[in-house]
Structure 1
Amino acid sequence: MKNFEVNYATCMNTTPEHNKTGNTRKMGISMFMLAWAVLFIMGVVLFDDLLADQYNPNHSPASHTTQEGIKEVTLQSNRQHHYLANGLINDHKTVFLLDTGATDVVIPQSLAKTIGLKANGQQQAYTANGLVTVYRTTLNSLQLGNIRLQNISASINPAMDKETVLLGMSALKQIEFTQRGETLILRQYDD
């Protein structure tokens, strides 16, 4: 009878030694899978940050004021040779795309609603996508680095599907800008 119990226990893999080995193996596999999951998540986060930096290398634009009182902001171009930078409209965070071909600062309608901008009439505008109806508005303030502009003419464009604001000539005409290679320097002179 004793011989039968040993053989039965061996066949059923229920010996204390086997249970320890099985539990250790399960724990090892679980830890291995957890380690790979953590590495995968870290890779995704790192890759996402890398892509974000390539799209907008100016999350915190470099800015300073010269001894003469000139405010300067230095921007680096992205991989597509565009100048994007984080900034503020009426103290709300936004991303600007500098666009010397745009007459006004152009704001997507969804962002305009978030900021609380009011439309002051409509007009037709020619865009890369053809003729569209836009709505006139005025920005109380627009800030890029330490450059701050006030009472800027702008347009709300319902056809824009991204949250990026086109920083057009209604703002850019108030500052000086110089491009050298992949760097753009914006300067605001005190009046």
Structure 2
Amino acid sequence: MECPRCGGTVTVYRLRGRESFACDDCEYVGIEVEHGSERRPSESWATALSRFRGRESSEERQDTDDAEAAAEDERTEDVSHDGVPSAARAVRDLDVPGGDVTRAQRRAAIQSLYEALRTRGEATREELLTVVDPETVGYESSDAFWTDIGRDRLASLPGVQERAADDGVWRFDADAATEEPAP
């Protein structure tokens, strides 16, 4: 028998009534196979990393866009009905460490502390920290956030007063927080 592919000699194998054959020269076994393929252009490491970073950057851009939209919403109400600067306005310009998204999240946490204190009038540190999610602000615990940036930033806001250190109670004084109208 002659090989249909190369014209070489074909050997026939028989076992229990079944037959199989193979070409001794090109190893043809009766199954048409295309041994060539279209070569795809390979991707360089630089291109792959650039593609990856582009995907990562678009996710970060979305987070930044969300944070900027939230910041814009906060700017719409600068003063509350009682003449006290809004929490958003009070917190907006605080110097807070971190990247754009992290800073926005940390400012939001400080704003939550400020709003909680304004709402209650008085609160302990532990009561205030119930409004902080440490993972969201990039800390292992609420205490770490408080010690590193929360306490000092809250103390710098209008109307916030820490009473005697021995009782650890924080107080909000609306009279002290009221800004004088600009001349």
Which of the five TM-score ranges fits, normalised by the shorter chain?
Answer: 0.3 to 0.5
Q: TM-score, with normalisation over the residues of structure 2?
A: 0.36
Higher strand share: 1
Higher helix share: 2
Q: TM-score, with normalisation over the residues of structure 1?
A: 0.35
Asked which structure has the greater CA Rg, the reply is: 2
